[in-house]
Amino acid sequence: MTSASRITVFDMRIGELAERAGTTTRTLRYYESRGLLPARRAVNGYRTYDEGDLRMVRQIRTLQDFGFGLEETRPFVECLRAGHPAGDSCPASLAVYRAKLAELDTLIDQLRSVRAQVGEQLLRAEAQLPEGPDPQCEFGG
Amino acid sequence: MTSASRITVFDMRIGELAERAGTTTRTLRYYESRGLLPARRAVNGYRTYDEGDLRMVRQIRTLQDFGFGLEETRPFVECLRAGHPAGDSCPASLAVYRAKLAELDTLIDQLRSVRAQVGEQLLRAEAQLPEGPDPQCEFGG
DNA sequence: CGTTGCCTTGACGTCGGCGTCAAGGATTAC
DNA sequence: GTAATCCTTGACGCCGACGTCAAGGCAACG
């Protein structure tokens, strides 16, 4: 089984993984330092990755683009590492989804509230300041 | 005029200003270091503030609560310092309001887009995972 | 005279997700 | 052999708005 899986594995080094994942080597080392992306090592000490690692990095990047913190991506990565078909094939990942949805809802509500208040302030202040953006308006009585 | 205005001025030190504005001395010194809140000095070197300063701090705090950056509060503070009745009695302040509204609109749209995508992911992933939160549902065929 | 409670300046720490530089080893191409 | 391009670790920088600690001055009370 182990030998069979290795047959189709093209190992790569950190630079290639970074390029294929659309990120930087610095970022991948950072993920490793956080325990998200442990790397095997070649005899010369170089980090060695395979296609599975690429999937994990892409999963992390997708979630990061959604505004997930790194820690929030951990369940997804561990889910993939456990051999599941997708990062969100595990209950822990779904829990993160749900928590993020609630967080987003709260945040969006707050921002809309702020937007409304700022809008009111603007209208009120504009009413005080007679210098509008349309000088020829209401000219002739 | 100068002597007349001083008649009603109760000077205070940084601790009292902080307490009355609902913030900390550290924050007020930080504002001063940013040039937002210059302070007069008593003979012993203590910072001295008046009611006008209190208004400025409250203006800053209000905007900060709305998510404005410190630099964005500067026009409001300068407007107050110029003697205007309110921090948003000046065109520069209104410009900040408008820019913030546009910024908020963009941000809210982005967050709603993310929310929608995350929601879709959750639904899709839940459909794959048969273990729903309602185990006795659809039990007997 | 000492203690308490204000005040002063200065400077380092925090959080997240890396960027960027430094100094050096490995591999490949020529 | 050497130049170019990878790779390694380590460590400091960044952004924003302060928190927190250190060391010491000033004022008032008893």
Q: Is residue B68 part of a domain?
A: yes
Whether A16 sits with its Cβ under 7 A from any strand D atom: the answer reads yes
Provide the shortest C-alpha distance from residue B51 to chain A (in Å).
22
Q: Looking at the partner chain, which of A88, A117, A128 has a beta carbon nearest the beta carbon of B66?
A: A117
Kindly report the average pLDDT of chain B as a whole number: 90
Q: Is residue B138 part of a domain?
A: no
Q: Is residue A63 part of a domain?
A: yes
Can you tell me the distance from the alpha carbon of A47 to that of A41, in angstroms, rounded to the nearest whole number? 5
- State yes or no: pLDDT of A25 exceeds 90: yes
Q: Is residue A61 part of a domain?
A: yes
Q: Is residue B108 part of a domain?
A: no
Tens digits of residue pLDDT in B82-95: 999 999 999 999 99
Please enumerate in sequence order all residues whose Cβ is within 8 A of that of A53, keeping only pairs 6 or more positions apart, or say none: A17, A37, A39
Kindly report the average pLDDT of chain A as a whole number: 90
Q: Is residue B18 part of a domain?
A: yes
Provide the shortest C-alpha distance from residue A99 to chain B (in Å).
11
**CATH number of the domain that residue B90 is part of:** 1.10.1660.10
Q: Is residue A106 part of a domain?
A: yes
Query: What is the reported pLDDT for B63?
Result: 98
Q: Provide, rounded to the nearest whole percent, the portion of chain B with pLDDT above 90.
A: 84
Contacts of A118 in chain B (CB under 8 A): 66, 97, 100-101, 104
Can you tell me the distance from the alpha carbon of B115 to that of A103, in angstroms, rounded to the nearest whole number? 10
A17 burial level (CB within 10 Å; 0-12, 13-18, 19+): buried
Q: Is residue A140 part of a domain?
A: no
> Looking at the 3D structure of chain A, how many domains does it have?
1
Tens digits of residue pLDDT in B30-65: 999 999 999 999 999 999 999 999 999 999 999 999
User: Which helix (H) or strand (E) segment is B41 a member of?
Assistant: strand B40-41
Domain enclosing residue B51, as ranges: 8-103
B89 burial level (CB within 10 Å; 0-12, 13-18, 19+): middle
- Confidence bin at B98 (pLDDT 50/70/90): very high
Residue A131 structure tokens? 């210098």
